[in-house]
Chains A and B, each alone.
Chain A
Amino acid sequence: MKKKIELTEILDNAYINYCPIYLYFLESFEVTGFISNDINELYDNKFFECVLS
């Protein structure tokens, strides 16, 4: 299930203004694709290695 996260959960409120706006839209990355047959997704996603290591 994809989750969204508020920056305030990660950061002390005092630091929130230092964050560029794109960081306000964080979404959890689903790793279930690894066991799917979608080879394109497997190759296309740079985050797999990070998750696996």
Chain B
Amino acid sequence: MILLLSEDGDKITDIVVDWLNYYKSDFLVLKSKNLYNSIPTNIKVSDKLEINDFFSNINIAWCRRWSIDNYENINKDIKVNIISELNHFSSIFFESLKNIEWINHPNFTKIKKIDQLLIAKKSGLNIPDTIITNNRIELQDFCNNKGRIITKPIESSSEIIFDNDLYVSYTNRLDDTIIKKLPEYFAPSLFQEEVNKEFEIRVFYFNEMIYSMAIFSQLDSKTLIDHKKYNKEKPNRKVAYNIPKFLRRSIVKFMKKSNLQTGVIDIVKSKNGKFYFLEVNPVGQFNDISINCNYNLEKIIAEYLIEKDEKKNRVN
């Protein structure tokens, strides 16, 4: 049986499930809410973790996404306790399934962005010069050395709702005018040299297979710094792109060192011809890569899962 871990509303899961249904395969989609309302789950703790028979037929699991459901109308302190307990339980649950083949083991999908940069560098990828600082003098020096710099979260940002409007933070350029306005000390923040980009590349990685798309975001002032500031009137051009072999080798090395079997990687090709790794999102959306480049990635994933499941069934 194939196990798919996911969450409500994930479109990619729906499309992969369509393909699994089309091929009449044996699969189970598991969301965190199922663990306390519909699926018997027992873990015996002895010299090792033993999970109940319901899960014994699983041959391969794909962690598309996993999150503990949001509890809207509940005391916030109780909510913190529930989420913490369920997160710990989830981790033990996944550990008890460690002998099956995983496409991203959930315990490895929360790799920190700074760790990603360090691993990328060790894997032979270029990364933009990066600092984390809390003071204006250091920031001013960095800006003077690099020319153009940007700021973004050290880890990730979430949406802010204010006066019934939804606000988000994008990657932003900092210049002297802004830096001079900052206090002498501020909250520790991340700053990076701005890569003078020729174009951006989004890579979908799946078990050493690489599917890439170039995004021509540099020609539009709106999307120049962050292509997610979409221009609806005139969308960025997105086309299939073949990355060079040396970059492919480094990406495979990076993903292996990161214990990831799949993920969406953001890369920038600079005007000086170098490729810069920005980040990997192990649970990132890849519909745009699949649709724009006609890769049919969801079908490829479904077929891979079925092939592995059937192979294991034949061995057993």
Chains A and B bind each other: yes
**Which A residues fall within an 8 A CB radius of B?**
3, 5, 9-10, 17-23, 25-33, 36, 38-41, 43-47, 49-51
B169 contact from A25, A33, A49, Cβ within 8 A? A25
Q: Using Cβ atoms and an 8 Å threshold, which residues of chain B touch A40?
A: 235, 238, 287-288, 291-292
B232 contact from A5, A9, A10, A38, Cβ within 8 A? A38
Given contacts A27-B167, A47-B166, A50-B159, contact A21 B232 (CB under 8 A): no
B164 CB, min distance to chain A CBs, angstroms? 11
Q: Can you name 6 A-B pairs with beta carbons within 8 Å?
A: A17-B186, A20-B154, A20-B186, A22-B171, A26-B167, A29-B159
Is B285 touching A43 in the complex (CB atoms < 8 A)?
yes
Is B183 touching A26 in the complex (CB atoms < 8 A)?
no
Q: Using Cβ atoms and an 8 Å threshold, which residues of chain A touch B168?
A: 26-27, 29, 47
Is A10 touching B162 in the complex (CB atoms < 8 A)?
yes
Given contacts A22-B152, A40-B238, A49-B9, contact A31 B166 (CB under 8 A): yes
8 nearest A-B pairs in the assembled complex, by CB-CB distance:
A43-B287, A21-B189, A40-B288, A25-B172, A20-B189, A26-B167, A29-B166, A20-B187
**Which B residues fall within an 8 A CB radius of A?**
9, 11, 151-154, 157, 159-160, 162, 165-172, 174, 182-183, 185-191, 228-230, 232, 235, 238, 285, 287-288, 291-292
Is A5 touching B159 in the complex (CB atoms < 8 A)?
no
Q: Using Cβ atoms and an 8 Å threshold, which residues of chain A touch B228?
A: 44-45
Other than A22-B153, A47-B159, give 16 A-B pairs with Cβ distance below 8 A: A20-B190, A21-B182, A21-B187, A22-B172, A22-B189, A27-B170, A28-B166, A29-B168, A38-B232, A40-B238, A40-B287, A40-B292, A41-B232, A44-B287, A47-B168, A49-B9
Q: How many A-B residue pairs have CB under 8 A?
A: 97
Q: Tell me the nearest residue of chain A to B132, going by C-beta.
A: A20
Complex CA–CA separation, A3 to B164 (angstroms): 13
Q: Using Cβ atoms and an 8 Å threshold, which residues of chain B touch A17?
A: 183, 185-187
Q: Which residue among A25, A29, A41, A45 has the maximum number of chain B CB atoms within 10 Å of its CB?
A: A25
Complex CA–CA separation, A30 to B222 (angstroms): 14
A48 CB, min distance to chain B CBs, angstroms? 9
Is B167 touching A5 in the complex (CB atoms < 8 A)?
yes
Given contacts A25-B170, A26-B169, A28-B167, contact A44 B285 (CB under 8 A): yes
Complex CA–CA separation, A37 to B297 (angstroms): 21
Complex CA–CA separation, A21 to B191 (angstroms): 9
Complex CA–CA separation, A42 to B229 (angstroms): 13
Q: Using Cβ atoms and an 8 Å threshold, which residues of chain A touch B229?
A: 27
Complex CA–CA separation, A49 to B8 (angstroms): 10
Complex CA–CA separation, A22 to B174 (angstroms): 10
